[in-house]
């Protein structure tokens, strides 16, 4: 089922878009290949007797920002782990259009998962994968740290950082290999409300700068509609709704359009509750 | 060495600036002063406990004759070599059993059985095997040191955060790299707890072994002095054991501070 919500584009938004365009082109030039498209066919996964995913069919075009929402236990995190290659597929297939290197697909978790015994910069270098030993490892890691605004923390231990800063280091680690698909498993779930909003802006900015395909699993519908081009609602192991968000970027938080879209998705989620 | 010392400090301890290094010596010094007064005033007969000044004098005489340095050196050598042998074997088994299920299944049960035999109970057997040779002492020290290091290394490796290991795998770390960057640093705090327990057991074993079967070393010096009723030398040996124990503990603490600088418990605040 496809629901599309068209919103009028204001003049201000158009102006902003043209202002961003030259910068976006520049990034595209020095990186010939950007996001990878993603095709999933009849994907199934069970844990013991519990069938978590019951046939997922999905195509995500290159560079799209997709949010996956659903109640806990609906299989959204399992789907993400399968996409990221962390668990084995029972049946079906996931393909990325072309052969993807391991460095092309990165995951960011709810927990920062930083090595407490490595300085911030070395933690970011971990993200380089096989390129860790290369000569430009340091500058690349520093560049990624600058990207998330933590260049001055490069020599700190992770234990002295705040929760939001740790998660930004984790983001820099995921970005440093210039991934073509970035999967987020509720990366902002453990942050306070204000830190969440600034992290959402950061995520949107790096996504626009780097052009990777973004897949965000979240339980926060407001976050999903604020960030994503498209919101998938998963119920009982299947994609129940596929909603395209046409609101232009940058999006204004708390705008009427986003709020009404959020409301309609929430109604879908809650009506499923009433049926059972 | 106490259990409380070996745990990372969570609460911020009360600290006086500058006096920090001296404050720990107030109690030992006070004990010596009270002890001296008690001996001089005749409160404690010198047949029971010689005055600290007499002990110091005995120490000075033995130092001049070269006997003291030789005996300390012999005991120190035995302690370190025994510790190195037992510690390395314990560390190796801890690593193997922590990393490999097969190795753990194969050896852990046996090791747990051996662990429950008090190693000092083996002294008669060890004397029969090795006589009162160096190897007897080294064997006992190594055996005593083995278990705390084995158990704590194993525990450290088993309790490394699985989420960090998963992270390492996702970011393409090879097995060697995963060990070097994630598993070993994660196990290190626990390994240090093992080392500090092992240091305590090392001295205990050595004292017992040297008093029962030896022809040199601090324990031997104490036993010889007992034969000749030289109570000041006996007390001197005991005090030297205390100092050596403290020295070993301080060394391990220093090492801990250097290698665990990332740990919140060891950061300067």
Residues 6+ apart with CB under 8 A from A39: A58, A59, A60, A93, A94, A95, A96, A97
- The average confidence (pLDDT) of chain A is 84
**CB distance from A103 to chain B under 8 Å?**
yes
In a domain, B18, yes or no: no
In a domain, B33, yes or no: no
Q: What's residue B193's pLDDT?
A: 92
Give the architecture (CATH level 2) of A26-100+180-276: 3-Layer(aba) Sandwich (3.40)
Angle at which helix B134-158 crosses helix B67-99, to 10 degrees, equals: 40
- Give the total number of structural domains in chain B: 1
- Residue B49: strand, helix, or coil: coil
Q: What's residue A22's pLDDT?
A: 43
Phi-psi bin for A63: left (phi > 0), alpha (psi -120 to 50), beta? left
Tell me the mean pLDDT in the region B240-245. Answer: 86
In a domain, B84, yes or no: yes
C-alpha A126/C-alpha A128 separation (Å) is: 5
Interface of B with A in 98-157 (CB under 8 A): none
- The average confidence (pLDDT) of chain B is 87
pLDDT by residue (tens digit) across A88-110?
Answer: 999 988 998 877 787 889 999 98
- The answer to whether A94 and A83 are in contact (CB under 8 A) is yes
**CB distance from B166 to chain A under 8 Å?**
yes
pLDDT by residue (tens digit) across A52-93?
Answer: 899 899 999 999 999 999 888 888 889 999 998 888 999 988
Residue indicated by tokens 């050596």: B244
Q: Given a cut of 80, is residue B92 above it in pLDDT?
A: yes
Mutation choice for B interface testing from A88, A114, A116 by most B CBs within 10 A: A116
Cis peptide before B165 (omega within 30 of 0): no
**CB distance from A150 to chain B under 8 Å?**
no
Highest mean pLDDT among A130-134, B84-88, B106-110, B224-228: B84-88
Q: Given a cut of 50, is residue A30 above it in pLDDT?
A: no
Smallest CA–CA distance, residue B211 to chain A, in Å, is: 44
Higher pLDDT, B75 or B264: B75
Chain A residues with CB under 8 Å of B188 CB are 117
Closest partner CB to B167 (pick from A102, A113, A158): A113
What residue segments make up the domains of chain A, in order of their start? 26-100+180-276, 115-179
Q: Given a cut of 60, is residue A126 above it in pLDDT?
A: yes
Q: Given a cut of 60, is residue A253 above it in pLDDT?
A: yes
Q: Given a cut of 70, is residue B21 above it in pLDDT?
A: yes
Interchain pair A84, B170: CB under 8 A: yes
Higher pLDDT, B14 or B180: B180
Mutation choice for A interface testing from B167, B184, B267 by most A CBs within 10 A: B167
In a domain, B2, yes or no: no
Interchain pair B171, A127: CB under 8 A: yes
Q: Which of B145, B152, B116 is nearest to B204 (CA)?
A: B145
Q: What's residue B28's pLDDT?
A: 86
Q: Given a cut of 50, is residue A6 above it in pLDDT?
A: no
**CB distance from B267 to chain A under 8 Å?**
yes
Domain enclosing residue B250, as ranges: 51-266
- The answer to whether A200 and A227 are in contact (CB under 8 A) is yes
Chain A residues with CB under 8 Å of B185 CB are 115, 117-118
Q: What's residue B209's pLDDT?
A: 86
C-alpha B122/C-alpha B141 separation (Å) is: 12
In a domain, B22, yes or no: no
- A67 φ/ψ angles, rounded to the nearest 5 degrees: -110, 140
* CATH classification at residue B148: 1.10.3720.10
Smallest CA–CA distance, residue B156 to chain A, in Å, is: 15
C-alpha B126/C-alpha A218 separation (Å) is: 65
Q: What's residue A230's pLDDT?
A: 94
pLDDT by residue (tens digit) across B118-167?
Answer: 888 888 888 889 887 788 899 999 999 999 999 999 999 999 999 999 99
Could you give the ipTM of this predicted complex?
0.78
Chain A residues with CB under 8 Å of B264 CB are 159
C-alpha B114/C-alpha B188 separation (Å) is: 25
**CB distance from A115 to chain B under 8 Å?**
yes
């Amino acid at each position: 089922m496809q629901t599309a919500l068209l919103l009028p584009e204001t003049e201000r938004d158009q102006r902003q878009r043209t202002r961003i365009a030259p910068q976006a082109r520049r990034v595209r030039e020095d990186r010939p290949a950007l996001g990878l498209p993603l095709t999933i066919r009849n994907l199934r996964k069970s844990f013991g007797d519990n069938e978590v995913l019951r046939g997922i069919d999905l195509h995500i075009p290159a560079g799209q920002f997709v949010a996956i929402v659903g109640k806990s236990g609906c299989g959204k995190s399992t789907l993400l782990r399968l996409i990221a290659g962390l668990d084995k597929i029972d049946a079906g297939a996931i393909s990325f259009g072309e052969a993807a290197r391991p460095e092309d697909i990165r995951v960011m978790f709810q927990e920062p998962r930083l090595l407490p015994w490595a300085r911030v910069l070395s933690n970011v270098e971990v993200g380089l994968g096989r390129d860790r030993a290369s000569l430009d490892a340091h500058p690349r890691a520093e560049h990624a740290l600058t990207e998330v605004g933590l260049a001055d923390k490069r020599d700190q231990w992770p234990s002295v950082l705040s929760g939001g800063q740790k998660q930004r280091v984790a983001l820099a680690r995921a970005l440093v290999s210039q991934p073509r698909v970035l999967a987020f498993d509720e990366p902002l779930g453990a942050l306070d409300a204000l830190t969440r909003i600034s992290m959402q802006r950061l995520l949107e900015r790096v996504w626009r700068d780097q052009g990777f395909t973004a897949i965000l699993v979240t339980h926060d519908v407001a976050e999903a509609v604020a960030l994503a081009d498209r919101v998938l609602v998963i119920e009982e192991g299947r994609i129940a709704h596929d909603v395209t968000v046409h609101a232009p970027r940058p999006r204004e938080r708390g705008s009427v359009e986003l709020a009404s879209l959020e409301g309609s998705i929430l109604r879908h989620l809650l009506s499923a509750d009433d049926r059972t | 060495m106490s259990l409380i010392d070996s745990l990372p400090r969570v609460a911020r301890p009360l600290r006086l600036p500058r006096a920090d290094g001296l404050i720990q010596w107030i109690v030992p010094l006070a004990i010596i002063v009270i002890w001296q007064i008690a001996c001089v005033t005749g409160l404690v007969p010198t047949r029971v406990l010689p005055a600290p000044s007499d002990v110091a004098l005995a120490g000075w005489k033995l130092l001049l004759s070269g006997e003291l340095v030789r005996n300390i050196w012999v005991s120190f050598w035995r302690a370190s070599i025994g510790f190195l042998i037992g510690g390395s074997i314990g560390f190796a088994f801890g690593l193997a059993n922590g990393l490999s299920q097969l190795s753990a299944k194969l050896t852990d049960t046996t090791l747990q059985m051996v662990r429950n035999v008090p190693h000092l109970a083996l002294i008669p057997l060890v004397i029969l095997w090795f006589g009162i040779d160096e190897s007897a002492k080294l064997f006992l020290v190594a055996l005593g040191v083995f278990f705390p290091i084995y158990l704590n290394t194993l525990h450290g490796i088993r309790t490394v955060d699985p989420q960090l290991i998963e992270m390492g795998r996702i970011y393409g770390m090879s097995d060697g790299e995963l060990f070097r960057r994630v598993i070993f640093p994660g196990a290190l705090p626990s390994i240090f707890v093992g080392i500090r327990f092992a240091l305590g057991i090392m001295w205990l074993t050595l004292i017992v072994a040297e008093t029962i079967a030896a022809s040199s070393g601090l324990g031997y010096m104490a036993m010889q002095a007992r034969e000749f009723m030289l109570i000041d030398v006996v007390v001197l040996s005991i005090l030297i054991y205390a100092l050596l124990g403290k020295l070993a503990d301080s060394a391990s603490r220093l090492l801990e501070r250097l290698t665990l600088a990332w740990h919140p418990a060891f950061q300067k605040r």
